Amino acid sequence: MITKKETVAMLLAGGQGSRLYLLTERIAKPAVPFGGKYRIIDFPLSNCINSGIDTVGVLTQYQPLALNEYIGNGQPWDLDRTYGGVRTLPPYQAQKRADWYKGTANAIYQNMQFIDKFDPDYVVILSGDHIYKMDYAEMIENHKRNGADCTIAVFDVPLSEASRFGIMITDDDMRITEFMEKPKEPKSTKASMGVYVFNKDKLFSYLEADEADENSEKDFGKNIIPAMLKAGEKLYAFEFSGYWKDVGTIDSLWEANMDLLGDRPALPLKDREWRILSRNDALPPHYTGNSAVINNSVITEGCEIYGTVINSVLSAGVVVERGAVVRDSVILGNVTVRTDATVDYSIVDADTVVGKSATVGKELIESKGITLVGGGLTIPDGVSVPDGVICDKAMLDKLSKGVM
Amino acid sequence: MNAVGIIFSSINEKSVHELTKQRTMASVPFGCRYRLIDFALSNMVNSGINHVGIVTHYNYQSLMDHIGSGKDWDLARRHGGIKILPPYITAFANASNFLYSTRLEALISIREFISDCKEDIVVLSDCDTVCNLDLSAMIERHIETGAEITLGVKSSYVSTDNTRAVTVVKSDENGKVLDVSDYSGLKSGFEDVYVRLLVVGRKYLEELISDAIAHGYTSFTKDILVRNCKYHDMRAFMLDGYFATIRSLNDYYRCSMDLLDPEIRRSLFGVRNRPVFTKVRNSAPASYDNGAIVRNSLIADGCVIQGTVENSILFRGVKVGKNTHIKNSIIMQDTLTGENVYLNCVITDKNVVIRDGRVLSGHETRPFFIDKGSYV
């Protein structure tokens, strides 16, 4: 027996996130750490539970191990339920076919059975690539009021950037009249956030039709939405005006982290009404030593700071030794920055050691770009990692031999 | 591990009455994000004990809130897990006669819990202690020596001006207990002190309880250990690492400040495979604003620091206003300090608000305590 759920959320978390390079070498993009103690997927998951949605299917495909382990039984998000709760849904072998998820629409198509079990009226489709705090309940309310078949959340972007997104053109009542996927000459600035509310029956019939179409790319933006528009279904846009950021690139991931800093951060995480939940190890509070200087930074449990930290975000268990300087950087878990080392305008992945007097990156104003240092590396004492590079093991070996 | 743990949550509350006015000893906040019971509980869980009874007395609401289902200690189990054991009062008994005040009376009132356990061994622990112990080593020794009772003993300095009850254990080189007695108070120096942690066979404990009822005994230490030590086969187990017992507000202050010592922090929180577990609160990381100056301090998540913090312990969600200077202080959860505040040797309980410009100071030997929820 399973009780009916009004809404089931399906979270697309199979993305590789290839533009995050080393950070997604071993983990899927939604599992990428963010903001000291979170991972990207904490945002949509917390949004679900805060919006009263307690049944979430997480579709995994690329490097699912870390993500599966992280989600576990869903307990940190209060999603360990007897009825509903969070389920990870990997691709599976069926009687007549065995397929990877071929596109976003196909991933949902393959899990229609999971959705149907809860007999929902609405299905919310989410992606695990964005940092934002949003009340989906408000959007579903709006969807009901409009009597819509599908509602798409949109976010106002600058016209210059609009060609990177799926753009909606609406009438005065916010009914969508036209949809353009990454248009060269955008006619509107309403960008799709990748958040959809569907009436379940409508969704299922379009998914089935799309699956039968051999020419389809099995994608929501490219196939399902255009097909629904063509058939004259009622599609509405829902405007979202809070903080929203696609963290698909090293630059945007760095920027989103920096948005946590300042007196009035662009992305405030301290409000208790909309708490972002995450799975954490039991670590002691962070310690700030006598020689420490910390300015405009975010620091979390298990850190030990004896050096200087300015405009930076530090994850759990980071050690900054005496005389070391960390500036304008994002340091992931358990990194050690040894005595007199300097890290500037960089993202340093977990478990890396920056040796004594080593330097990583260049000061923000004169830097060519963000330096990305891979995880689990040991930068030898005194070695300099230049600015704007992606430093993996091979590069580090060259640097230590003085070849570069 | 074939052992069940029993934790006394309310023992010695009167000695730290400031902190236990509205809570049990077990739920006294400690070290930025912990409650005292976290240490006793984590010691048990890390030693493979997954069945724990917590004996409560009164005011145990905050304790129940902290423990919840026990999942933060991985003790939300179908078999075993955590059980809160409230005072057992029948409709027919006179409540005031029945509410226990000692460990032995508490054990008598939870006889049924003890006899229903499947485990062969019982570990009894107080929770006014701060330590990270490997209890499995102690239990193994207990089994190896075939002792009836194994006492946890720590070599500690006792002095003649010490007014509190200290139980001293004398043992031979094999750890066999020769004598258990109250500290005489005649001579200062190091003594092997019984830390109110013991391992005992469950069947034997049941016998002790029946015998105690028959003889009208009331105190486990005085009537069973001290008076009858010669009739039991008892062993002393020497504990190492950091160990502190909190029996006064001064102890609490000193022990909290001990955490600023990296060696002590390592022996409490840095032990491999023995983390200290606590309830997860999901606070955002701490933020330091421009102009924040922090020296030699422990800061929990959720803090916002705009002023200066020195030699202090800040619990979760504390706000330090601009130009505010906090020194040598312990600031508990969600305390708000305004601007231009000066605090020295102050302990604020939870949810205290300190308005702009207030200057408060205690002394290391007498920290100034501010009650839960007060406005200053």
Q: Cα angle vertex B110, ends B108, B114, to 5°?
A: 105
A residues 275-314 lying closer than 8 A (beta carbon) to B: 275-278, 280-290, 292-301, 309, 313-314
CB distance A152 to A195 below 8 Å: yes
Arithmetic mean of pLDDT, B276-294: 93
What mean pLDDT is predicted for residues A204-232? 93
What pLDDT is stored for residue B61 in this prediction?
87
Q: Looking at the complex, does the CB of residue B291 fall below 8 Å from at least one CB of chain A?
A: yes
Between CA B196 and CA B176 the distance in angstroms is 17
Question: Residue B297: how many CA atoms within 13 Å on its side-chain side?
Answer: 27
User: ∠ at Cα A29 (A360, A161), nearest 5°?
Assistant: 85
Residue B152 has pLDDT above 60, yes or no: yes
CB contact under 8 A, B284 and A270: yes
The least confident of A26-35, B29-38, B83-92, B301-310 is B83-92
Nearest one of A78, A265, A207, A52 to B289, comparing CA atoms: A265
What is the rounded distance in angstroms from the CA atom of residue A368 to the CA atom of residue A76?
40
Q: What is the pLDDT of residue B163?
A: 56
Q: For A126-141, what is the mean pLDDT?
A: 95
The CA–CA distances, whole Å, from B6 to A173, A297, A383, B197 equal 65, 43, 55, 10
What's the rounded Cα separation, in Å, for the pair A125 and A75?
22
Note the ipTM here: 0.89
Q: What is the mean pLDDT of residues B145-157?
A: 93
- Going by C-alpha positions, the residue among B9, B254, B282 that lies closest to residue B127 is B9
Q: For residue range A155-212, list pLDDT tens digits in order.
A: 999 998 888 889 999 999 999 999 988 889 989 999 999 999 999 999 999 999 999 9
Distance, in Å, from the CA atom of A146 to the CA atom of A167, rounded to the nearest integer, reads: 20
Residues of A in contact with B269 (CB under 8 A): 283-284
Selecting from B71, B276, B296 the residue whose C-beta is nearest the C-beta of A282 gives: B276
Identify the pLDDT of residue B22: 84
- Reference B249, options B362, B100, B125; nearest CA is B362
pLDDT at A345: 97
Structural element, H or E, at residue A196: strand A190-199
Check: CB of residue A106 under 8 Å from CB of residue A76.
Answer: no
> What are φ and ψ of residue B60, in 5° steps?
-95, 15
Please report the number of interchain residue pairs, chain A to chain B, with beta-carbon separation below 8 angstroms. Answer: 111
Helix axis angle for B37-46 and B135-145, nearest 10°, is 60
User: Do A284 and B269 lie within an 8 Å CB cutoff?
Assistant: yes
Location of structure tokens 């409650």: B35
Give the span between the Cα atoms of A41 and A67, in whole angstroms.
Answer: 9
pLDDT of amino acid A195: 95
Band of residue A2 on the pLDDT scale cut at 50, 70, 90: low
| pLDDT tens readout for residues A26-59 | 888 999 999 999 999 999 999 999 999 999 999 9
pLDDT score, position B342: 97
Helix (H) or strand (E) holding B325: strand B325-327
Q: What is the pLDDT of residues B25-48, one digit of tens each?
A: 999 999 999 999 999 999 999 999
A140-145 contacts at long range (C-beta below 8 A, 24 or more positions apart)? A140/A7, A140/A197, A142/A236, A142/A238, A143/A197, A143/A236, A143/A238
- By residue count, chain B amounts to 376
- Confidence at residue B165, expressed as pLDDT on a 0 to 100 scale: 75
Cβ pair A286:B299 closer than 8 A: yes
Which amino acid is residue A222, in one-letter code?
K
Neighbours of A184 (CB within 10 A): 6
Closest approach of B66 to chain A, Cα-based (Å): 15
Q: How far apart are CA A222 and CA A126, in angstroms?
A: 16
Mean pLDDT of B156-162: 77
Beta strands in A271-393 (DSSP E): 286-288, 293-295, 297-299, 304-305, 308-310, 313-314, 319-320, 325-327, 330-331, 336-337, 342-344, 346-348, 353-354, 359-360, 371-373, 378-379, 384-385, 390-391
* pLDDT tens per residue across span A257-281: 999 998 889 999 988 889 999 998 8
The percentage of chain A sitting over the pLDDT mark of 90, rounded to a whole number, equals 77
Amino acid, res. B18: E
Q: Which residue of A has its CA nearest to B277?
A: A282
> Using the beta-carbon criterion (under 8 Å), do B282 and A294 form an inter-chain contact?
no
pLDDT of residue A401: 84
Q: Which residue has the tokens 């009874």?
A: B53
Mean local confidence (pLDDT), A79-91:
90
- CA-closest candidate to residue B153, choices B79, B73, B62, B245: B245
Alpha helices for A245-380 (secondary structure H): 250-258
Residue of B262, B275, B292 lying closest to A282 (CB–CB): B275
Minimal C-alpha gap between B53 and chain A (Å): 22
Residue A43: C-alpha distances to residues A37, A274, B335 (Å): 12, 10, 28
The encoded tokens of residue A367 equal 């830097």
- Chain B residues in contact with A314 by the CB 8 A cut-off are 285
Question: Please, which pLDDT band fits residue B162 given cuts at 50, 70 and 90?
Answer: low
3-class SS at A27?
A: coil
User: Has residue B362 got a pLDDT over 60?
Assistant: yes
| Proportion of chain B above pLDDT 90, given as a percent | 69
Tell me which amino acid residue A35 is. Answer: G
Mean pLDDT, all residues of chain B: 90
Q: Has residue B99 got a pLDDT over 80?
A: no
Q: Residue B344's pLDDT is what?
A: 97
Predicted pLDDT at B93: 56
A184: left (phi over 0), alpha (psi -120 to 50) or beta: alpha
User: What's the pTM?
Assistant: 0.91
Kindly report, residue by residue over A342-394, the tens digit of the pLDDT.
Answer: 999 999 999 999 999 999 999 999 999 999 999 999 999 999 999 999 999 99
Spatial contact of B352 and B275, defined as CB atoms under 8 Å apart = no
Q: Quick check: helix, strand or coil at residue B39?
A: helix
A330-339, B86-95, B180-189 — which is least confidently predicted? Answer: B86-95
